Amino acid sequence: MYFKNVKKIFLTLLVSLSFAAFAQSDERDVPYTKELRTFINAYFNHDLTTKEQAEKLYNAVSSNMPADFTEYQVETTLSRADYYFGQYIMELYDLTQLEHALDDISKEFEEPEERNKRIKAEASKYYESGMVHGSKAMALKPDDCPDAMAAYTQALSGNIIVKPVGYVLQHGTKIASYARKIVKVAPKSGIGWFLVSAQSCYAPGIFGNAKKGRQQMTTYLEDEDMICEKFDRYNYTCAIAYTYYRQNKFAEAKEWYTKCLDFYPKNYCALDFIKKCDAKLASK
């Protein structure tokens, strides 16, 4: 039961990840391409209404790679794309559960075991591909590869969700280790610092620290020198919201989940938690 809950928390974390004043992605060692940013933003805003549409945007990333990209940058970009397509596959699973819950947030719907396995296996295929591309990129620049390391770590974190408990035990602690390495090489890495503080925000019980995580995420959100994208800022905001939710501070949680909609108005995770907050507040 404990590990089942841990995996649910990881899923909340993962389905949950720039304004001009903030450092832009051209300061990265691997800038986000136009096609990749389009795909990621469409995923977060729930604009991918069909799998065919998602595949089209996903494939556009690899077929429109900038001519001046190095092999390192290509592999890192492919790793990022694989991770987010895996996330999209898992979102399909999540949305199916929401549909079957028939708007009753207290009801938990279990997918048939075979469908559960099929969806997770498909998502894992993309997460593992992301890890392969990330590993190739890190091997090309072993001493200075923050963006590749971040892409690999995201893919690994996604794979942890869909793998058995043994995989979680073997690889779960690597997330924090990689996160620390990322910010050591790139002290203003937005995704790096998010990964560093995610455990405080999302980990259950004694493994988390909501107050500490909230303070850290707020610092990142307000740091004008942080190298981050729109979706990084969404991730900070969503994490802050969840720290309030886990403390049963539903009014504050709703306020912050509503702020998430400033980034992605149709984001289903934020909308669902707003609905949950309303129900909790109404029951008091």
Per-residue model confidence as pLDDT tens digits over 219-263: 999 999 999 999 999 999 999 999 999 999 999 999 999 999 999
Res. 26: pLDDT tops 90: no
Asked whether the predicted pLDDT for residue 146 surpasses 70, the reply is: yes
Question: What pLDDT, on the 0 to 100 scale, is given for residue 234?
Answer: 98
Least confident among 34-38, 106-110, 136-140: 106-110
User: What is the pLDDT, as a whole number, of residue 112?
Assistant: 66
DSSP, residue by residue, 51-102:
HHHHHHHHHHHHHT--TT--HHHHHHHHHHHHHHHHHHHHHHHHHHHHHHTT
CA distance linking residue 249 with residue 270, whole number of Å:
16
Amino acid symbol at 273: F
Whole-number pLDDT of residue 49: 87
Query: Up-side HSE of residue 37: CA atoms within 13 Å toward CB?
Result: 12
Residue 126's domain is classified under what CATH number? 1.25.40.10
Residue 158, pLDDT above cutoff 80: yes
Residue 206 pLDDT more than 90?
no
CB hemisphere CA count around 69 (13 angstroms): 22
- pLDDT of 4 over the 60 cut: no
How many domains is the chain partitioned into structurally?
1
Q: At 93, is the pLDDT very low, low, confident or very high (cuts 50, 70, 90)? A: low
Beta bridge partners of 266: none
Distance CA(18)–CA(36), nearest Å, equals 15
Say what the alpha-carbon torsion angle 117, 168, 217, 24 is, to the nearest 10 degrees: -70
- pLDDT reading at 110 higher than 70: no
- CA dist 194 to 116, 126, 157, 279, Å? 29, 22, 13, 29
Quote the Cα angle for 274-247-229, to 5°: 60
Q: Which of 29-43, 68-82, 98-112 has the lowest mean pLDDT?
A: 98-112
pLDDT at 107 over 70: no
> Quick one: average pLDDT of 77-101?
79
pLDDT at 166 over 80: yes
Residue 135 has a pLDDT of: 98
In this predicted structure, the answer to whether residue 193 has a pLDDT above a threshold of 80 is yes
- For position 133, what pLDDT does the model report? 99
Mean pLDDT of 160-178: 91
Q: Please, which pLDDT band fits residue 27 given cuts at 50, 70 and 90?
A: low
Label residue 284 by pLDDT band (50, 70, 90): confident
- The Cα 158–Cα 15 span in angstroms is 9
Instruction: Calculate the average pLDDT of the chain.
Output: 87
Instruction: Please give the residue range of the domain that contains residue 106.
Output: 2-282
State the residue for tokens 């592999």. Answer: 75
Lowest mean pLDDT among 24-28, 64-68, 76-80, 248-252: 24-28
Please answer whether residues 240 and 218 qualify as being in contact, where contact means their C-beta atoms are separated by less than 8 angstroms: yes
Which of 174, 77, 180 shows the shortest CA–CA distance to 133?
77
- Residue 101 is predicted with a pLDDT of 37
